[in-house]
Amino acid sequence: MKAIGVFDSGLGGLTVVRELKRQLPAEDIIYLGDTAHLPYGTKSAEAITRLTLNNVLFLLKQKVKLIIVACNSASSLALSSISRYFSVPIIGVIEPGVKQAVRITETKCIGIIGTPATIRSGEYEKQIKKIDPSIKVISQACPLFVPLVEAGWINQSETFTIAKKYLDSLLVKNKKTDTLILGCTHYPLLKPVFKKILGEKIRLIDSAEQVVRQVAGVLHDQGLARKSSDRGARCRFYVSDDPDGFAYQARSFLGQRLSKVQRINHV
């Protein structure tokens, strides 16, 4: 049975891998971290689309049955233009998180934090307004979060200071905000920091759980779901640069150091 393919610009997509292993433990996974081109969020739409296409083509060469674009910048700027050319299901991370946020907001005020490219695209607001035009949406680009997470700076005081500055800038725009979408797969690692700043009054939306639920539905509907077997599920990890650094930092996401990460030539 074929594997599920997942890609991101770096480590962030491992939050989706973690959720796949929890919800769909029988499924094989192939992960690609395009670490040579990290971060995507500060690049142009054209560059992100080109890199996304390269990632999709690499995973298709591995004979995957479904691809998760575990990168919000790629999901917002490249998914719609690329997915139509391939028969394999390609699922992004924006729509599932949006649906959850719209479902639970009580004040009809939703905040979004993401990379500059994701925020600039306006894709989150577009998807939210499509479901409920009356919802107010505020957003804040947070360009430093991805480098901080990639460097393992989760608990440093500098990270708290930067996060507080970003979140204060966001919430001053609308004090009625009760729901915050974490618009980047790196951001769930910073949840403890966000909660310390925001308290319990604002609910955080991590799209990984909703994405995997959607994946489970697609696999079931198309007869692609893998049943349990004695050998257990397998995970293969590829990166375009620094496999040792990736393997070490993966502990923060998966709870263990990866024993094998393969480097690929990825232009």
Residue 266 predicted with pLDDT over 80:
no
d(CA 186, CA 71) in angstroms, rounded, equals 9
Same-domain status, 214 and 178: no
Question: Phi and psi (nearest 5°) for 69?
Answer: -85, 90
Average pLDDT, the chain: 94
> Hey, what are 258's tokens?
């990866």
DSSP state, residue 25: T
71, 109, 142, 235: the catalytic one is: 71
Question: In terms of C-beta density within 10 A (0-12 exposed, 13-18 middle, 19 or more buried), how is residue 69 classed?
Answer: buried
CATH for 180 = 3.40.50.1860
Residue 227 predicted with pLDDT over 80:
yes
Same-domain status, 101 and 201: yes
124 is in which domain, residue-wise? 94-207
Nearest C-alpha neighbor of 59 from the set 5, 122, 117: 5
Same-domain status, 15 and 81: yes
> For 92-116, what is each residue's pLDDT tens digit?
999 999 999 999 999 999 999 999 9
Same-domain status, 140 and 78: no
| 235 included as an active-site residue | no
Count how many domains the chain has.
2
| 184 included as an active-site residue | yes
109, 142, 184, 235: the catalytic one is: 184
Q: Which of helix, strand or coil describes residue 32?
A: strand
